Structure 1
């Protein structure tokens, strides 16, 4: 099973988001078909927290996935309906030629059995590699979900790129052997 998680600290969420978005861009530039979603965070004047945007990697569609709960609101602000919309788009785009599934976060919704879990399961059944970002608070749920000892990657571009190349092209492949 070719499944890995980038383990990131709670305060490294934006860095994990940026790494996955950059990785997706580079892989698409190489002509690879991707599924899943990446996250971008957009600051809003007068708001204490940014807006969460999710981009479906197959269609390029961007969905706002955060609810505006006011400037003083705390706690989860994820719009579960918007998340499920992106999951549906991503699941519909899976095909034998999909090179990699990227999941911006395996988080609370996934730990509860929702969110991107069905997409990850579908990808594994189809033999498509999966890369997700997981913070320590959800690591136990991730480990139970994927079973055995999961592949954990540091929040490091080179390590993640190396894992992706090996998962997509095989252990003997390297950057020069990959299509551009």
Structure 2
């Protein structure tokens, strides 16, 4: 990639769990309203369990298909509740959507799973290799692993939905 070519991978850094969801949902809604074909997965607010903990769900784009990616580990559990099988189901669904030729892919986050080579990592690479821009969020704690993955190929972006929509539109030639 030369300095004149725009990066096809954009990211926002978020500090708390779930902070990216509202931002990325707004971006996806604005792009969809503008007729942009969007594929991806964005965290949605899931229902709460008996202990008051929210279930983690991803909304698979296009559409509203929710996929639960958390599992019940019991009332006293303190461990990670991520359900790797649920995450892989969401990845497979987004992979099928990628085959339909979207203009942009939005991924809820590059997290621990992606840092370890699982989750959405290969799908991100597949989209980029196909020339499809990818927008995603990265938690502060996962930033080092993300930058090792992305090297110099990613643009850091503000968390402002209007700026993110502008970045997306520029990458797909609608600026």
TM-score by length of 1: 0.85
Deviations 1:136-155, CA, capped at 9 Å, x for gaps: 21111111111226311122
In the alignment, the residues of structure 2 paired with residue 62 and residue 44 of structure 1 have an alpha-carbon distance, to the nearest angstrom, of 15
Which piece of structure 1 moves more, 57-66 or 84-93?
A: 57-66
1:7 and 2:7 are equivalent in the alignment: no
Describe the SS at the equivalent of 1:114: coil
Q: How does 1:101-140 map to 2 (within 5 A)?
A: 101-140=105-144
Q: Structure 1: where are the runs of 5+ without partners?
A: 174-180
Q: Structure 2: where are the runs of 5+ without partners?
A: 1-6
> CA RMSD, aligned part only?
1.8
Which piece of structure 1 moves more, 142-151 or 80-89?
A: 142-151
* 8 Å contact kept, 1:8–1:134: yes
In the alignment, the residues of structure 2 paired with residue 119 and residue 36 of structure 1 have an alpha-carbon distance, to the nearest angstrom, of 10
- Give the structure with the larger strand fraction: 2
In the alignment, the residues of structure 1 paired with residue 100 and residue 68 of structure 2 have an alpha-carbon distance, to the nearest angstrom, of 29
* 8 Å contact kept, 1:8–1:154: no
- Give the structure with the larger helix fraction: 1
In the alignment, the residues of structure 2 paired with residue 120 and residue 60 of structure 1 have an alpha-carbon distance, to the nearest angstrom, of 20
Q: How does 1:31-180 map to 2 (within 5 A)?
A: 31-44=35-48, 46-95=50-99, 97-148=101-152, 150-169=154-173, 173=175
Aligned residue pairs, count = 169
* 8 Å contact kept, 1:48–1:71: no
Mark the CA change 1:136 to 1:79 in structure 2 (over 3 Å): closer, same or farther.
Answer: same
Mark the CA change 1:149 to 1:43 in structure 2 (over 3 Å): closer, same or farther.
Answer: same
Shift of 1:62: 1.2
* 8 Å contact kept, 1:48–1:72: no
* 8 Å contact kept, 1:39–1:54: yes
Match of 2:23 in 1: 19
* 8 Å contact kept, 1:47–1:70: no
Mark the CA change 1:69 to 1:152 in structure 2 (over 3 Å): closer, same or farther.
Answer: same
